[in-house]
Amino acid sequence: MLSFLARRLLSSIPVVGAVLALCFLLVRIAPGSPFATERSLDPATQIMLEKKYGLSGTLPEQLFRYGSNVLRGDLGDSLKFRGRTVGEIIGQSLPRSLLLGSIAFTLALGLGIPLGAWAAAHHGKKTDSLLNSFALLTLSTPTFVLAPVSVLLFSFGLKLLPPAGWGTLSQLILPAICLAIPFVGVCARLTRGGLLETLGSDFIRTARAKGVSENKLVYLHALRPAILPLVAYAGPLAANILTGSLVIEEVFAIPGIGQFFVNGVINRDVFLVSGVVLVYCLLLLFFNLLADWLTAMLDPRIRLSS
């Protein structure tokens, strides 16, 4: 277990480094300057600004400087939100995205797994094909469709929930649901597929022969190995959903990390973008690791070392 952890952590270091370097370079070579405003900047000021933020010199020099700063825990200053460090911005906005994301993640799994199991238990019947169509429908309804439509319907039409903002519980409901729905279908389909495969295996036949009830069979015996594919999918999903949805935050005016990220990319705010990408990358690696560990826990045949 420990050696597995150590090996995985060691092998992720180059990935994190490569992602961060690539991201930094891409934003730096993109045309447009982070210091550009409506008025044209005089070259002397530009040079001063670049020097101040450590963006002078050749690209490898800049990258090296940034890399060594990151290693010391300094993510740099935001170039557009003057006077705020990237660390501050992430520290303020990430918890909001994390809260919203974890609710949505729980919703996606909490709805998806039972729906998938239900469909598998009624394999080949009307319920199954109905649930399958429903899953495909949620898959085909992206958040940027769901968000405006649900605001139109639930906030302005039925006047049930507030259309935007952040701070109260009722303001969380609509964005969390909109964020979760597209993934409910995927989770349900993965659960169903895994279950159908497991239900055909020998130990299920044995259990059935012993007289275990059909419900117990599906929900207790088969579900545990059956959600393995879902676990593999849920790792990246968690990283994605937790780092905030750009669209949801835009439509519902939530000051989360996704908004800062999009603005950062548009403004060529290189430190902000790289900082957010670093957070995302670390989360992704963490959840992938967690998923692998969970997989080994759920299926004793899988060894962590392999």
Partner 1 sequence: MKPSRSTWIILGFLAILVSAAVFGPAVSPYGVGELSSNRLTPPSPHHWLGTDLHGRDLLIRLMYGARISLLVGFVGASISLLIGVAYGLTAGYLGGRTDNLMMRAVDVLYALPRIVLVIVLISLFDLKLKNLFDGTFLTAFANHARLLLLFVGLGMVEWLTLARIVRAQVLTIKERPFVLSSRLIGQSTPVILFRQILPQVLPIVITYLTLALPAVILEESFLSFLGLGVQAPLASWGTLLADGASMLNPIDTPWWLIVFPATALVVCLLSFNLLGDQLRRLGTDSGR
Q: Which residues bind partner 1 (CB under 8 A)?
A: 14-15, 18-19, 22-23, 26-27, 29-32, 132-133, 136-137, 139-142, 144-145, 147-149, 151-152, 155-156, 163, 236, 246-247, 250-251, 261-262, 265-266, 273, 277, 280-281, 284-285
Taking the complex as a whole, the smallest distance from the CB of residue 30 to partner 1 amounts, in Å, to 5
Count of alpha carbons within 13 angstroms of residue 186, beta-carbon side: 18
Residue closer to partner 1, measured from CB, 189 or 221: 189
Nearest in space to 108 (alpha carbons), one of 172, 184, 178: 184
Residues recorded for the chain? 306
Residue closer to partner 1, measured from CB, 48 or 136: 136
Taking the complex as a whole, the smallest distance from the CB of residue 235 to partner 1 amounts, in Å, to 12
Residue closer to partner 1, measured from CB, 139 or 212: 139
Residue closer to partner 1, measured from CB, 262 or 289: 262
> For the purposes of burial, counting CB atoms within 10 Å of the CB of 114, is it exposed (0-12), middle (13-18) or buried (19 or more)?
middle
Question: Which residue intervals of 59-166 are DSSP H helices?
Answer: 59-71, 86-121, 126-139, 143-150
Taking the complex as a whole, the smallest distance from the CB of residue 284 to partner 1 amounts, in Å, to 5
Other beta carbons within 10 Å of 29: 8
Residue closer to partner 1, measured from CB, 50 or 197: 197
Taking the complex as a whole, the smallest distance from the CB of residue 85 to partner 1 amounts, in Å, to 21
Taking the complex as a whole, the smallest distance from the CB of residue 281 to partner 1 amounts, in Å, to 5
Taking the C-alpha atoms of residue 156 and residue 243, their distance in angstroms, rounded to an integer, is 28
Tracing tokens 């020099």 back to the chain, one arrives at 61
Give buried/exposed letters for 119-137 (b at 16+ CB in 10 A, else e): bbbeeeeeebeebbeebee
Taking the complex as a whole, the smallest distance from the CB of residue 269 to partner 1 amounts, in Å, to 12
Nearest in space to 89 (alpha carbons), one of 236, 80, 51: 80
Residue closer to partner 1, measured from CB, 20 or 221: 20
Taking the C-alpha atoms of residue 243 and residue 257, their distance in angstroms, rounded to an integer, is 7
